[in-house]
Each structure stands twice: as C-alpha cells, then as structure tokens.
Amino acid sequence: MKLIFAKPAMPSKGALVVGVLEGRKLLPTAQAIDAKTHGALKRAFEASRFEGKKDQVAILLAPPGTRLSRIIAIGLGKGVEVNALGLEAFGAKAALEAIASQESDVALAVDAIAGCKLGLGEMAARMALGARLRSWRFDRYLTQEKPDDKPKLKNLTLLTGEVTQARRAFAPLVALAEGIELTRELQSEPANIIHPESMAARARELTKLGVSVEILGEARMKKLGMNALLGVGQGSARESKLVVLRWTGAKNKNAKPVAIVGKGVTFDSGGISIKPSGGMEDMKWDMSGAAVVFGLMKALAGRKAKVNVVGIAGLVENMPSGTAQRPGDVVRSMSGQTIEVINTDAEGRLVLADALWYCQNRFKPVAMIDLATLTGAILIALGSEYAGLFVTDNKLSDGLVRAGEATGESLWRLPLSDTYDKLIKSDIADMKNVGDGKAGSITAAQFLKRFTNNVPWAHLDIAGTAWTKKDLATVPKGASAFGVRLLERFLAENYEN
C-alpha cells in the first residue's frame, strides 16, 4: 500500500473515507458530499443507525452525483480528545475499511476537528502512520491464500490542505514505521528461521544506514568471561551471539551514549527445566527485547537522530540436550559474581547479567535500559495493558513513564528494594537465579540490578506486551514491537540535541 498526500479534491473513482463526530456532526468534506448527494449521506446514517460513535462505520454505495464507488463514514466519537494517538487509530480504522472495500484506490479526507491542536499536515501524517502500522501483515508463509483474502488496496491518498507540512511530518514517522516493521518481522519469524546466528546476520543489514555493527561469537565471549550467557546457550546446536550496535548521531561524537539492552532468547524451551508443551510455541517471542533494540536503532538511524545510542542484544537459544546446563550448576559471570542455576528456565536474567555488565564496562553509558520478556509473573500483575518498569533513578522513571503515555506503550513502576535480596541468596554461590515464587518479577529485577554497577538503569519487563492476542488500534494481532515507539520518543525528548 502506498500512502500519498494530495490537495483536497473529489476523487473520480474508488472509495472516499470521511470522519463523522458523534451526534452525526459532519466535518466539511462530509458536509460537501451530503449536499452533493442531496442528503443521501445523512439518510444512509439514519438507515444504518450510524451515530458517529467512535469506530462506528456507515457505507453509502454508488453515491448519486459522484463517480465514487462508495463513501465510508467512520465515527470519531466526541472528538474532544483527538490527539496524535487518536488520529493514528482513525487512520488505522480507515485503512481497514479501505481494504475491506476491495478497492485499489481509496482517498481519506483530513478535515480540521475542533479541539485538535495539530495542523492539517501533522494530522494527515499521523493518520498515515496509523494506516501503515495497522495494515502491516506477516504473510510470508501463507501460500494458499484466496485472492479475495489478499488486500487489494494499492493507494491510500490523504486529502489535506497542508501537503508540504504533511510530507515533512511523515518523513521521520516513516523511519519509525520501518523500525517497528523490522521488529515485528523478527518477532514473527519462527524459531527455526530466526535463531542466534540468523538474527545476528540481520543486524548486519543496519550497516547500510550508518549503524556500526559488531558481532561477538562464543570464543570471544568465553575470553570475556561471559559464562552466565554462554551457559544458557550451551545446549543449543546454534552458536550464541552478542550483537553490539552503535548509532553516533549527536553533535558531540564523544558524548557518552544511552544504552539499550535486549533479551534475545530466540526460543525458550526452558532447557532441562523444560516448559510444559501447551503454549510452548509462544516462546519464539522470547527474543522480543533484542528485536526492539534492532528496530529502535533502525528508526533512529533512519531519521538521523541527533543522539548517541548503543544497542546490545544477547542472542541465545535455550534448549535441553546432552550439553545443556543442569539445575544446580554454578556459573561465574563476567562481573565475577557467581550464580547457582536452580532453574534453567530463569535464563533471561543470566543472559542479561553478562550483557548489562559488558555494556556498562565498555561504554560507560549515561543510562542503561533493558527490555526483556522476563517473567510470566508480570502478566499476573499487569496483564497486557502495561509493561513493568523497574528503575533506579527517578528522572529516568519520569521520562520513561511520560514517553509511555505519549506513545500508548504504557509503563507501570514496580519496586526495587534490597529487602527482596534474601529471596535469591544461595548456599554455595553469590546468588541463585530464582526466588521462592513470590514477587517473581521483582526478584528477577533485583537480580539484574547486581550487574548494572550503579549506572542509572531501567528494566522493562515486556512479557505481557511484546505480542498481542487480539487486534489493537494500530497493532494487528501478533508482534507488537512494544518498546520501539516508547524508546524512540524517550530518546527524542530527553537526549536529542
């Protein structure tokens, strides 16, 4: 689907989408159409009991006095809170209806809405972003799809009085969308396709955008003493990898970077502490944190963000085998701290222990933020509405929470406190990798904190938000890329110069 910005004009073919406020309040384009069709639009609303409530749809076929195939009216609700996210949701809904119409050319009228602070250009750009994000699909393996099930929409034209502003506003959003799409794609690929080796290879493609890419293999990690990470991957036929990405966009090339670290367990079988088979296929998503790191770097490089960022992904496959790590094994992490591996399924924290230590040790970042599908317990606490936020610095916390609200990728802060440390005390090592089952997300965060060396740090537990079981406003069911928008925004607001 191509997104086009053009001056408002009545299209000579295809479908036209218009927004309508609650109470059947017509915006200017709809008003013009209603007049042109001698009131047919309003009669269609009455006939279909369309009120203009949010996401309601009414369709007028072959409207008289026009050459359109149909007019699709979409409810905007009261319109009082039409902000960027609301406009994205509207654009998304418009794209879905446009696709359902089976037309190849659809126009979407961008009208001013009372109370909306954005200009017509910015409004059009937001709608276009929503349309793009919602109509993305992962159909690589659907070889037998019926032609009728395939989207036929070729051009979605946004009719806006501010074409130049729209194009200018959309350019950075295209970079964002490309980043999100990379993340979603990597997430969606099954674990036989995306494993540590192939995922690391995908990172190389970011070189084209000016991202520096380094890939550490097992020999190099062994030399560095990263035995916690290596232990998780030692049962796999695939080689573990640590990917280091660098985007140096700040005016001062030597300015200390912000670091983003992702858990990249390309499949989490649980290892010897094997998971039950029901639902185990969901563990292909366990590399989502690392996929967010890739997508975020792509989004930043794509719009030449003026910020220095390091992205690190710990890529491993957690498998049971004759070479796999056993419950009770003790590993010496890169930090020197020893860990008793009570449960091989608590592997994310082992991977991050070495990735975080390596990150702060090498880059001395101003702040370090990790993303990980770390605990099932975060789903018990927060469901899929918020990701868990654990953070050692209040300013960092505020910035992240604010970016979450602005992007719809919401965070809820949970405690870090040394009082939980007793739960991960081991008899034979410096710590063990699980607590007693209570406060599981907190003990996991408390474990990670030991590998941050007091660098301002935030941990995002995205186990409940990395993928979605139902369609959301701008996220189709499946990979959500949760974290890309959030962190792109967070970096723009707090670190770009």
Contact positions toward ligand BES, by CB under 6 A? Answer: 268, 286, 343, 345-348, 373-377, 434, 440, 463
Determine if 268 is a binding residue for Mn ion (CB under 5 A): yes
* Of 126 and 349, CB closest to ligand BES: 349
Phi then psi dihedrals of residue 160, to 5 deg = -140, 145
* Of 218 and 268, CB closest to Mn ion: 268
Look at residue 97 and give the partner it binds from ligand BES, Zn ion, Mn ion, none, a contact being a CB closer than 5 to 8 Å depending on partner kind. Answer: none
Phi then psi dihedrals of residue 478, to 5 deg = 120, -145
Closest chain position to Mn ion (CB): 345
**Which residues lie across from 370 on neighbouring strands?**
261, 459
Look at residue 375 and give the partner it binds from Zn ion, Mn ion, ligand BES, none, a contact being a CB closer than 5 to 8 Å depending on partner kind. Answer: ligand BES
* Of 312 and 351, CB closest to Mn ion: 351
Give how far Cα 286 sits from Cα of 19, 96, 186, 472, 488, Å.
39, 29, 11, 21, 21
Closest chain position to Zn ion (CB): 268
Catalytic residue among 53, 137, 152, 275: 275
* Of 146 and 470, CB closest to ligand BES: 470
* Of 33 and 374, CB closest to Mn ion: 374
Total residue length of the chain: 497
Least Å from the CB of residue 274 to Mn ion: 10
Binding residues for Mn ion, rule CB under 5 A, total 3
Residue whose pair of structure tokens reads 């009545």 in the numeric block: 10
Look at residue 377 and give the partner it binds from Zn ion, ligand BES, Mn ion, none, a contact being a CB closer than 5 to 8 Å depending on partner kind. Answer: ligand BES
Look at residue 307 and give the partner it binds from ligand BES, Mn ion, Zn ion, none, a contact being a CB closer than 5 to 8 Å depending on partner kind. Answer: none
Least Å from the CB of residue 441 to ligand BES: 8
Least Å from the CB of residue 233 to ligand BES: 14
Catalytic residue among 349, 449, 450, 485: 349
* Of 109 and 463, CB closest to ligand BES: 463
Site for Mn ion in 224-263 (CB under 5 A): none
CA distance 290 to 18: 39
Least Å from the CB of residue 357 to Zn ion: 19
The question of whether 241 is a catalytic residue gets the answer no
**Which residues lie across from 432 on neighbouring strands?**
340
Give the interface with Zn ion as residue ranges (CB under 5 A). 265, 268, 286, 348
Determine if 461 is a binding residue for Mn ion (CB under 5 A): no
Determine if 345 is a binding residue for Mn ion (CB under 5 A): yes
Torsion of CA 415, 417, 420, 422, to 10 degrees: 170
CA distance 55 to 77: 8
Degrees to nearest 5, angle at CA 485 with 480 and 491? 150
Least Å from the CB of residue 431 to ligand BES: 13
The question of whether 362 is a catalytic residue gets the answer no
Binding segment (CB under 5 A) for Mn ion, from list 33-41, 235-243, 264-272, 481-489:
264-272
* Contact residues for Mn ion, defined by CB under 5 A: 268, 345, 347
The set of catalytic residues is 275, 349
